[in-house]
Amino acid sequence: MSDSEAPLCRFETIILATDGSEFSESAESVALDLAQRCGARLIVARIILTDTQHDALSPPRSHEASVAGQADLDVLEKRAREAGIDASMILRHGVDRHQEIVAIAEEFKAGLIVIGRRDRGDIARLMVGDATRKVIGLAPCNVMVVPRGAQAPHRGLLVGTDGSDLGDKAVRAAIELAGYCDLPLTIASVAVPGQSDERRQEGVEAVQRLQGEAREQGRQADATTEEGRPEIALVDIARRDQRDLIVVGSHGRTGIKRLLMGSVSERVVGGAECPVLVVKNV
Protein backbone atom coordinates (compact mmCIF):
# COMPACT_ATOMS: atom_id res chain seq x y z
CA MET A 1 0.00 0.00 0.00
CA SER A 2 1.48 3.40 -0.99
CA ASP A 3 1.62 6.43 1.32
CA SER A 4 -1.19 8.04 -0.65
CA GLU A 5 -3.37 4.95 -0.18
CA ALA A 6 -2.49 4.26 3.48
CA PRO A 7 -5.26 5.01 5.98
CA LEU A 8 -4.71 8.30 7.79
CA CYS A 9 -7.29 7.92 10.55
CA ARG A 10 -7.55 4.22 11.27
CA PHE A 11 -7.35 4.45 15.02
CA GLU A 12 -6.65 0.82 15.91
CA THR A 13 -4.73 1.90 19.01
CA ILE A 14 -5.45 5.13 20.88
CA ILE A 15 -3.23 6.58 23.60
CA LEU A 16 -5.04 8.63 26.23
CA ALA A 17 -2.61 10.85 28.13
CA THR A 18 -4.17 11.90 31.43
CA ASP A 19 -2.87 13.62 34.53
CA GLY A 20 -6.01 13.09 36.57
CA SER A 21 -6.80 16.81 36.70
CA GLU A 22 -9.94 18.67 35.61
CA PHE A 23 -8.14 19.48 32.37
CA SER A 24 -8.02 15.77 31.48
CA GLU A 25 -11.66 14.92 32.22
CA SER A 26 -12.97 15.83 28.76
CA ALA A 27 -10.03 14.14 27.04
CA GLU A 28 -10.83 10.96 28.97
CA SER A 29 -14.46 10.99 27.83
CA VAL A 30 -13.54 11.75 24.20
CA ALA A 31 -10.93 8.97 24.10
CA LEU A 32 -13.37 6.44 25.54
CA ASP A 33 -16.02 7.47 23.00
CA LEU A 34 -13.61 7.24 20.05
CA ALA A 35 -12.24 3.87 21.17
CA GLN A 36 -15.77 2.52 21.42
CA ARG A 37 -16.86 3.92 18.04
CA CYS A 38 -13.73 2.80 16.21
CA GLY A 39 -13.38 -0.53 17.99
CA ALA A 40 -9.89 0.59 18.97
CA ARG A 41 -7.59 -0.61 21.71
CA LEU A 42 -7.18 2.07 24.37
CA ILE A 43 -3.91 2.63 26.22
CA VAL A 44 -4.35 4.99 29.18
CA ALA A 45 -1.06 6.60 30.21
CA ARG A 46 -0.56 8.35 33.54
CA ILE A 47 2.88 9.92 33.96
CA ILE A 48 4.07 10.77 37.47
CA LEU A 49 6.54 13.64 37.13
CA THR A 50 9.78 12.86 38.90
CA ASP A 51 12.18 15.37 40.38
CA THR A 52 15.16 13.08 40.80
CA GLN A 53 16.87 15.18 43.45
CA HIS A 54 13.68 15.88 45.43
CA ASP A 55 12.32 12.34 45.23
CA ALA A 56 15.59 10.96 46.54
CA LEU A 57 15.07 13.06 49.65
CA SER A 58 11.30 12.52 49.93
CA PRO A 59 10.20 9.11 48.60
CA PRO A 60 6.83 9.23 50.43
CA ARG A 61 5.68 12.06 48.17
CA SER A 62 6.43 10.04 45.05
CA HIS A 63 4.68 7.02 46.56
CA GLU A 64 1.55 9.05 47.34
CA ALA A 65 1.42 10.35 43.76
CA SER A 66 1.72 6.79 42.46
CA VAL A 67 -1.08 5.55 44.68
CA ALA A 68 -3.36 8.42 43.61
CA GLY A 69 -2.48 7.86 39.96
CA GLN A 70 -3.21 4.15 40.14
CA ALA A 71 -6.57 4.86 41.80
CA ASP A 72 -7.51 7.15 38.90
CA LEU A 73 -6.46 4.48 36.40
CA ASP A 74 -8.59 1.90 38.18
CA VAL A 75 -11.63 4.15 37.71
CA LEU A 76 -10.88 4.61 34.00
CA GLU A 77 -10.31 0.90 33.53
CA LYS A 78 -13.74 0.19 35.01
CA ARG A 79 -15.35 2.78 32.68
CA ALA A 80 -13.63 1.23 29.68
CA ARG A 81 -14.61 -2.30 30.66
CA GLU A 82 -18.25 -1.28 31.11
CA ALA A 83 -18.18 0.25 27.60
CA GLY A 84 -16.77 -2.96 26.12
CA ILE A 85 -13.40 -1.36 25.29
CA ASP A 86 -10.13 -3.30 25.21
CA ALA A 87 -8.07 -1.09 27.53
CA SER A 88 -4.69 -1.21 29.24
CA MET A 89 -3.47 1.10 32.00
CA ILE A 90 0.12 2.34 32.20
CA LEU A 91 1.61 4.20 35.18
CA ARG A 92 5.12 5.53 34.64
CA HIS A 93 7.52 7.94 36.32
CA GLY A 94 9.48 10.39 34.22
CA VAL A 95 11.21 13.76 34.23
CA ASP A 96 9.51 14.89 31.00
CA ARG A 97 5.85 13.96 30.58
CA HIS A 98 5.83 14.58 26.84
CA GLN A 99 8.79 12.25 26.24
CA GLU A 100 7.10 9.41 28.11
CA ILE A 101 3.83 9.91 26.19
CA VAL A 102 5.63 9.89 22.84
CA ALA A 103 7.61 6.78 23.87
CA ILE A 104 4.40 4.94 24.76
CA ALA A 105 2.84 5.92 21.42
CA GLU A 106 5.89 4.58 19.60
CA GLU A 107 5.95 1.41 21.70
CA PHE A 108 2.34 0.54 20.89
CA LYS A 109 2.41 1.87 17.30
CA ALA A 110 -0.54 4.13 18.12
CA GLY A 111 -2.64 5.85 15.49
CA LEU A 112 -3.77 8.66 17.80
CA ILE A 113 -2.83 10.41 21.02
CA VAL A 114 -5.65 12.16 22.92
CA ILE A 115 -4.56 14.82 25.39
CA GLY A 116 -6.32 17.57 27.33
CA ARG A 117 -5.63 21.28 26.87
CA ARG A 118 -4.80 23.45 29.83
CA ASP A 119 -6.53 26.82 29.73
CA ARG A 120 -4.06 29.67 30.03
CA GLY A 121 -6.18 32.77 30.46
CA ASP A 122 -7.39 35.44 28.05
CA ILE A 123 -4.00 36.92 27.09
CA ALA A 124 -2.49 33.61 26.03
CA ARG A 125 -5.67 31.75 25.14
CA LEU A 126 -4.63 31.24 21.52
CA MET A 127 -1.34 29.62 22.47
CA VAL A 128 -0.73 26.03 23.44
CA GLY A 129 1.14 24.88 26.54
CA ASP A 130 4.74 23.80 26.06
CA ALA A 131 4.14 20.15 26.98
CA THR A 132 1.21 19.81 24.55
CA ARG A 133 3.20 21.51 21.80
CA LYS A 134 6.06 19.06 22.31
CA VAL A 135 3.74 16.05 22.27
CA ILE A 136 2.31 17.23 18.95
CA GLY A 137 5.72 18.06 17.53
CA LEU A 138 7.36 14.77 18.49
CA ALA A 139 4.45 12.35 18.19
CA PRO A 140 4.74 9.56 15.62
CA CYS A 141 1.00 9.78 14.95
CA ASN A 142 -1.97 12.16 14.87
CA VAL A 143 -2.82 14.06 18.05
CA MET A 144 -6.23 15.21 19.29
CA VAL A 145 -6.24 18.10 21.77
CA VAL A 146 -9.38 18.39 23.89
CA PRO A 147 -10.25 21.61 25.76
CA ARG A 148 -11.92 21.50 29.15
CA GLY A 149 -15.69 21.03 28.85
CA ALA A 150 -15.60 19.69 25.28
CA GLN A 151 -17.54 16.60 24.24
CA ALA A 152 -16.83 13.83 21.78
CA PRO A 153 -17.74 14.96 18.24
CA HIS A 154 -21.32 14.14 17.30
CA ARG A 155 -22.40 17.07 15.10
CA GLY A 156 -19.79 17.17 12.35
CA LEU A 157 -16.22 17.85 11.28
CA LEU A 158 -14.56 20.95 9.86
CA VAL A 159 -11.24 20.76 8.05
CA GLY A 160 -9.18 23.63 6.69
CA THR A 161 -6.90 23.50 3.66
CA ASP A 162 -4.67 26.02 1.91
CA GLY A 163 -4.15 23.90 -1.19
CA SER A 164 -0.81 22.51 0.00
CA ASP A 165 0.09 18.81 0.14
CA LEU A 166 -0.27 18.93 3.91
CA GLY A 167 -3.68 20.57 3.56
CA ASP A 168 -4.73 17.75 1.22
CA LYS A 169 -3.57 15.18 3.77
CA ALA A 170 -5.59 16.84 6.55
CA VAL A 171 -8.73 16.81 4.38
CA ARG A 172 -8.27 13.17 3.41
CA ALA A 173 -7.86 12.25 7.07
CA ALA A 174 -11.06 14.17 7.87
CA ILE A 175 -12.92 12.34 5.08
CA GLU A 176 -11.86 9.00 6.57
CA LEU A 177 -12.82 10.01 10.10
CA ALA A 178 -16.18 11.38 8.97
CA GLY A 179 -16.84 7.97 7.45
CA TYR A 180 -15.85 6.06 10.58
CA CYS A 181 -17.97 8.28 12.82
CA ASP A 182 -20.79 8.76 10.27
CA LEU A 183 -20.68 12.55 10.64
CA PRO A 184 -21.11 15.39 8.13
CA LEU A 185 -18.02 17.21 6.89
CA THR A 186 -17.23 20.78 5.89
CA ILE A 187 -14.08 21.62 3.90
CA ALA A 188 -12.95 25.22 4.24
CA SER A 189 -10.36 27.45 2.61
CA VAL A 190 -9.65 30.84 4.17
CA ALA A 191 -8.03 33.56 2.07
CA VAL A 192 -5.79 35.97 3.94
CA PRO A 193 -6.50 39.66 3.22
CA GLY A 194 -4.07 40.93 0.63
CA GLN A 195 -3.42 37.46 -0.74
CA SER A 196 -2.79 37.24 -4.48
CA ASP A 197 -5.60 36.19 -6.79
CA GLU A 198 -3.52 33.17 -7.78
CA ARG A 199 -3.25 31.94 -4.17
CA ARG A 200 -6.95 32.53 -3.59
CA GLN A 201 -7.80 30.50 -6.67
CA GLU A 202 -5.56 27.67 -5.44
CA GLY A 203 -7.62 27.52 -2.27
CA VAL A 204 -10.91 27.47 -4.17
CA GLU A 205 -9.71 24.76 -6.52
CA ALA A 206 -8.37 22.68 -3.62
CA VAL A 207 -11.73 22.77 -1.83
CA GLN A 208 -13.60 21.78 -4.99
CA ARG A 209 -11.14 18.98 -5.80
CA LEU A 210 -11.24 17.53 -2.29
CA GLN A 211 -15.01 17.84 -2.15
CA GLY A 212 -15.05 15.68 -5.26
CA GLU A 213 -12.78 13.12 -3.59
CA ALA A 214 -15.18 12.94 -0.64
CA ARG A 215 -18.10 12.29 -2.98
CA GLU A 216 -16.14 9.54 -4.74
CA GLN A 217 -15.82 7.83 -1.36
CA GLY A 218 -19.52 8.16 -0.68
CA ARG A 219 -19.19 11.05 1.77
CA GLN A 220 -21.22 14.23 1.48
CA ALA A 221 -19.01 17.26 2.13
CA ASP A 222 -19.98 20.92 2.22
CA ALA A 223 -17.45 23.45 0.96
CA THR A 224 -16.83 27.05 1.92
CA THR A 225 -14.27 29.70 0.99
CA GLU A 226 -13.95 32.73 3.23
CA GLU A 227 -11.60 35.58 4.00
CA GLY A 228 -9.86 36.51 7.23
CA ARG A 229 -7.23 35.20 9.61
CA PRO A 230 -7.41 31.42 9.16
CA GLU A 231 -6.97 30.56 12.85
CA ILE A 232 -9.91 32.81 13.79
CA ALA A 233 -12.06 32.02 10.77
CA LEU A 234 -11.87 28.24 11.30
CA VAL A 235 -12.95 28.54 14.92
CA ASP A 236 -15.79 30.88 13.88
CA ILE A 237 -16.95 28.56 11.08
CA ALA A 238 -17.01 25.60 13.46
CA ARG A 239 -19.15 27.55 15.91
CA ARG A 240 -21.47 28.92 13.20
CA ASP A 241 -21.98 25.61 11.39
CA GLN A 242 -22.10 23.53 14.58
CA ARG A 243 -19.03 21.47 13.77
CA ASP A 244 -17.59 20.00 16.95
CA LEU A 245 -14.26 18.66 15.67
CA ILE A 246 -11.73 20.75 13.74
CA VAL A 247 -9.03 19.03 11.69
CA VAL A 248 -5.77 20.83 10.84
CA GLY A 249 -2.41 19.83 9.43
CA SER A 250 0.95 19.93 11.18
CA HIS A 251 4.57 19.98 10.20
CA GLY A 252 6.49 16.72 10.23
CA ARG A 253 9.42 15.70 12.38
CA THR A 254 12.29 17.26 10.48
CA GLY A 255 14.75 19.79 11.88
CA ILE A 256 13.45 22.57 14.08
CA LYS A 257 9.90 21.91 12.85
CA ARG A 258 9.81 18.87 15.13
CA LEU A 259 8.67 21.13 17.96
CA LEU A 260 6.44 23.45 15.96
CA MET A 261 2.95 23.18 14.52
CA GLY A 262 2.89 26.40 12.58
CA SER A 263 1.13 29.50 13.85
CA VAL A 264 -2.27 28.73 12.29
CA SER A 265 -2.51 25.18 13.60
CA GLU A 266 -1.26 26.14 17.04
CA ARG A 267 -3.70 29.01 17.37
CA VAL A 268 -6.61 26.86 16.24
CA VAL A 269 -5.68 24.29 18.88
CA GLY A 270 -5.36 27.03 21.49
CA GLY A 271 -8.56 28.90 20.63
CA ALA A 272 -11.08 26.21 19.70
CA GLU A 273 -13.97 25.32 21.99
CA CYS A 274 -14.10 21.79 20.58
CA PRO A 275 -11.50 19.05 20.10
CA VAL A 276 -8.88 19.66 17.41
CA LEU A 277 -7.28 16.81 15.47
CA VAL A 278 -3.73 17.64 14.33
CA VAL A 279 -2.82 15.45 11.35
CA LYS A 280 0.90 14.73 11.35
CA ASN A 281 2.94 14.73 8.17
CA VAL A 282 4.84 11.57 9.09
Contact 208, 223 (CB under 8 A): yes
Displacement of CA 229 from its chain's centroid (Å): 21
Q: Is the pLDDT of residue 56 over 60?
A: no
pLDDT tens-digit map of 27-51: 999 999 999 988 899 999 999 988 6
DSSP 8-state symbol, 27? H
> What is the pLDDT, as a whole number, of residue 101?
96
The span from the CA of 126 to the CA of 105, in Å, is 26
Q: How confident is the model at residue 8 (pLDDT cuts 50, 70, 90)?
A: low
What lies within 8 Å, CB to CB, of 53 at 6+ separation is none
Bridge partners for 276 per DSSP: 145, 246
> What is the pLDDT, as a whole number, of residue 264?
81
CA gyration radius, the chain: 19
Q: Is the pLDDT of residue 267 over 90?
A: no
Mean pLDDT of 43-67: 75
Q: Is the pLDDT of residue 243 over 70?
A: yes
> What is the pLDDT, as a whole number, of residue 54?
53
DSSP 8-state symbol, 95? S
Angle between helices 263-271 and 130-138 (to 10 degrees): 130
Choice between 137 and 159, residue whose per-residue pLDDT is larger:
159
Q: Is the pLDDT of residue 150 over 90?
A: yes
The model's pTM is: 0.88
Evaluate the CA torsion angle 148, 29, 74, 11 in order and state its sign: negative
What lies within 8 Å, CB to CB, of 169 at 6+ separation is 8, 249, 279, 281
Q: What is the mean pLDDT of the chain?
A: 85
